[in-house]
Chains A and B, each alone.
Chain A
Amino acid sequence: MTNPLLKINDLKTYFHTYNGIVKAVDGVTFELGKGQTLGIVGESGCGKSVTSRSILRLIESPGKIESGSIHYKDSNLLTLSESEMNSIRGKEISLIFQDPLTSLNPVMKVGDQISEAIGLHFDMSKQETQEKAKKMLDLVGIPSSEERYYDYPFTFSGGMRQRLVIASALSCDPSILIADEPTTNLDVTTQAQILDLLSDLKSRLGMSIILITHNLGVVAWLCEYVAVMYAGRIVEYGPVKEIFKNPQHPYTSALMECLITSDTSSQVDSIPGMIPDLINPPSGCRFHPRCNHAFDRCLSDDPRLFTYDKKRDYACWLKE
Chain B
Amino acid sequence: MSKRSKSSSNLLEVKNIKHYFPITKGVILRKNIGTVKAVDGVSFEIKPKETFGLVGESGCGKSTLAKIILQSIKPDEGNIIFNGTDVTNLKGNSILPFRSQVSIVFQDPYSSLNPRMTVKRIVAEPLITHKLAEGGQKDKMVIDVMERVGLPRQMLDRYPHEFSGGQRQRIAIARALVLKPKLVVADEPVAALDVSVQAQILNLMKELQENLDLAYLIISHDLNVVKYMSDRIAVMYLGRIVELGSSSDVFYKSSHPYTKALLSSAPIPDPSLKVNRVILKGDVPSPSKVPSGCAFHTRCYMSKEICSSKDVSLTKVKDKQWSSCHFPEEV
Contact = CB atoms under 8 A, between A and B. Distances in A.
The answer to whether A and B touch directly, with their CB atoms under 8 angstroms apart, is yes
Contacts of B224: 260-262, 264
Nearest to B271: A220
A264 B269 CA distance: 13
B24 interface: no
B15 interface: no
Interface residues of B, number: 39
A275 B194 contact: yes
B199 interface: yes
B2 interface: no
B213 interface: no
Contacts of A44: 165, 194
Contact of B263 (A191, A196, A262, A270): A262
Given A192-B279, A258-B199, A269-B199, A43 B194 contact: yes
Contacts of A192: 264-267, 277, 279-280
Which among A189, A196, A216 has the greatest number of chain B C-beta atoms within 10 A? A189
A245 interface: yes
Q: How big is chain A's contact interface, by range?
A: 35 or more
A269 B203 CA distance: 9
B208 interface: no
Given A217-B268, A217-B269, A262-B263, A188 B223 contact: yes
B285 to A, nearest CB: 10
28 contacts: A157-B283, A157-B284, A160-B283, A188-B222, A189-B57, A189-B261, A189-B279, A190-B283, A192-B277, A216-B195, A220-B269, A255-B195, A258-B198, A260-B198, A260-B224, A261-B224, A261-B268, A262-B223, A262-B263, A264-B224, A264-B228, A268-B199, A268-B202, A269-B199, A270-B200, A271-B197, A274-B164, A275-B194
Interface of A: 43-44, 157-160, 187-193, 195-196, 214-221, 240-241, 244-245, 254-256, 258-262, 264, 267-271, 274-275
Interface of B: 57-58, 164-166, 194-200, 202-203, 221-225, 227-228, 251, 261-272, 277, 279-280, 283-284
What are the nearest 5 A-B pairs in CB distance?
A217-B267, A192-B265, A187-B57, A270-B199, A271-B196
